[in-house]
Amino acid sequence: MAKLLIDNITSSCSLSDYKSYGGYTALEKALKLKPEEIVAEVQKSGLRGRGGAGFPTGMKWSFIAKPEGVPRHLVCNADESEPGTFKDRYLMQHKPHILVEGMIISSYALGANTSYIYIRGEMMFQFHILQNAIDEAYAAGLLGKNILNSGFNLDLHVHCGGGAYICGEETALIESLEGKRGNPRIKPPFPAVKGVWDRPTVVNNVETIAAVVPIINMGGEAYAKIGVGKSTGTKLISASGHINKPGVYEIELGVPVEEFIYSENYCGGIKGGRKLKAVVAGGSSVPILPAELILKTAKGEPRLMTYESLSEGGFATGTMLGSGGFIVMDESTSIVKNLFNFSRFYHHESCGQCSPCREGTMWMEKILRKFLEGRGTSADIDLLWDVQGKIEGKTICPLGDAAAWPVASAIRHFRAEFEEYVKNPQNIKDVRHYYRLNNLQEL
């Protein structure tokens, strides 16, 4: 299958390189259309947000409020901090101009004349790559006043964060862009009505905005033909963990999970020929599934890499495509220890605004630590279940859910492993939980 986003990756990410394989032709085409025609094209494409929630992009764009005389803004979410996800960084590093081109087209469609790319502070290297790409675009008349003689003006700025997972949540990101702590806002009002500086704002993921470029080039209908059902187009999957070929893969939505894990075109199978134990398919926030449920649905059908197939069976037996952070764990992995690591992460990253999340994540980390130290009891398993249930759905932003789901799913599918930690704590230190780097035995 032809790649739409990460084709023509070369060592240089210059404007001339990008143009030599057809870069900025979509922009030329787009500027000849009316903004609403672009929105319609994106609606036809069936493109869904690639940041995790999968909300239809064209629909989101159609919601933007257009009060007379109030500027509107497009903000690209390049905060990419969901554990297991590294596709946006890859794209920005190797093809910054596809994001710049997508930002110009999308800003034109939304009627925004000043747009921002909010990149996480740790990605300073990519920040400067983007800045260079933007500078090149200004010099070539692709940004600034009267772009390509269309009468459309756009200033595009790259803005860096300061290190906080929560700033990936769109309202926290907006607060952060305003120079404040990243505390999510209560919705409504939605950003489309009241976003950054109280102006109508659309926040979209890097990959979503980049996908607008091929959509304009090939037309929304042709894009919608790629993929399966409501999962149209291609998706960047970040594959990590115990596989032979970790990395970023652009797949046509609909590839069977089994093929994705074992084919030489993708992950290339499990490291060292070990057995697959579990997969977290869409970034650390989505439910973990054991091998049998990730390869096949509970009905016994092959599971596909689509929004629908991955969530088939609901949370009882399914998961989510999320951000496409595909974390593979082999048979040597301790689910309990891995869960402890994730829970520690959510506790660390909770902004602290909502008590269920602030306190609940702390308790989950604490209880899980007991298991690792051989002090866990059966009652603790139930307590853990209880605590996660008291976070889910009870917070301003979905970080609470994101912290609860991994815990719920680990207990649901791997309860026996928790019980083993309770029954045989003396074995814990002998479990070969993780890969060890060579010659470290003496440590």
Partner 1 sequence: MANKKIEFSPEALELVHRIIKRYPEGKQKSAILPILHIAQAEFDGWLSAPVMDYVASILKILPIEVYEVATFYSMFNLKPVGKCLIEVCRTGPCWLMGAEDVVKYIEKKLNIKEGETTKDGMFTLKTVECLAACGSAPMMQVGETYHENLTLEKVDSILQDYKSKGELVTHWDKKHIATNYTNLHE
Ligand X SMILES: Cc1cc2nc3c(=O)[nH]c(=O)nc-3n(C[C@H](O)[C@H](O)[C@H](O)COP(=O)(O)O)c2cc1C
Return residues touching ligand X (CB under 6 A). Answer: 49-53, 55, 77, 79-82, 166, 168-170, 203-205, 208, 397-399, 402
Name the residue nearer to ligand X (CB basis): 81 or 297.
81
Name the residue nearer to partner 1 (CB basis): 174 or 391.
174
Which ranges in 178-306 belong to alpha helices (H)? 206-218, 220-225, 257-262, 291-295
Name the residue nearer to partner 1 (CB basis): 122 or 401.
122
Name the residue nearer to ligand X (CB basis): 123 or 381.
123
The CB-of-184 to ligand X minimum distance in angstroms stands at 8
3-state secondary structure of 55: coil
Q: 240 touches which of ligand X, partner 1, none (CB within 5 to 8 A by kind)?
A: partner 1
Q: 14 touches which of partner 1, ligand X, none (CB within 5 to 8 A by kind)?
A: none
The CB-of-443 to partner 1 minimum distance in angstroms stands at 5
Q: 438 touches which of ligand X, partner 1, none (CB within 5 to 8 A by kind)?
A: partner 1
Integer angstrom CA distances of residue 398 from 208, 248, 282, 321:
20, 26, 15, 16
Integer angstrom CA distances of residue 152 from 115, 133, 145, 383, 410:
13, 19, 7, 58, 51
- Non-local CB neighbours of 94 within 8 Å, separated by 6+ positions: 6, 9, 13
Name the residue nearer to partner 1 (CB basis): 26 or 172.
172
Q: Give the CA angle between residues 343, 315, 354 to the nearest 5°.
A: 45
- Non-local CB neighbours of 180 within 8 Å, separated by 6+ positions: none
The CB-of-117 to ligand X minimum distance in angstroms stands at 11
Q: 122 touches which of ligand X, partner 1, none (CB within 5 to 8 A by kind)?
A: partner 1
The CB-of-68 to partner 1 minimum distance in angstroms stands at 18
Name the residue nearer to partner 1 (CB basis): 121 or 189.
121
Strand ranges, E, within 79-216: 114-119, 155-160, 201-205
The CB-of-253 to partner 1 minimum distance in angstroms stands at 20
Q: 333 touches which of ligand X, partner 1, none (CB within 5 to 8 A by kind)?
A: partner 1
The CB-of-340 to partner 1 minimum distance in angstroms stands at 10
Residue 28 has phi, psi (to 5 degrees) of -60, -45
The CB-of-365 to ligand X minimum distance in angstroms stands at 17
**DSSP-derived pairing of the beta strands 227-228 and 231-232:** antiparallel
Question: What DSSP state is assigned to residue 270?
Answer: B
Q: 182 touches which of partner 1, ligand X, none (CB within 5 to 8 A by kind)?
A: partner 1
Exposure string of 325-334, with b = 16+ CB inside 10 Å and e = fewer, is: bbbbbbebbb
Q: 186 touches which of partner 1, ligand X, none (CB within 5 to 8 A by kind)?
A: none
Residue 234 has phi, psi (to 5 degrees) of -110, 160
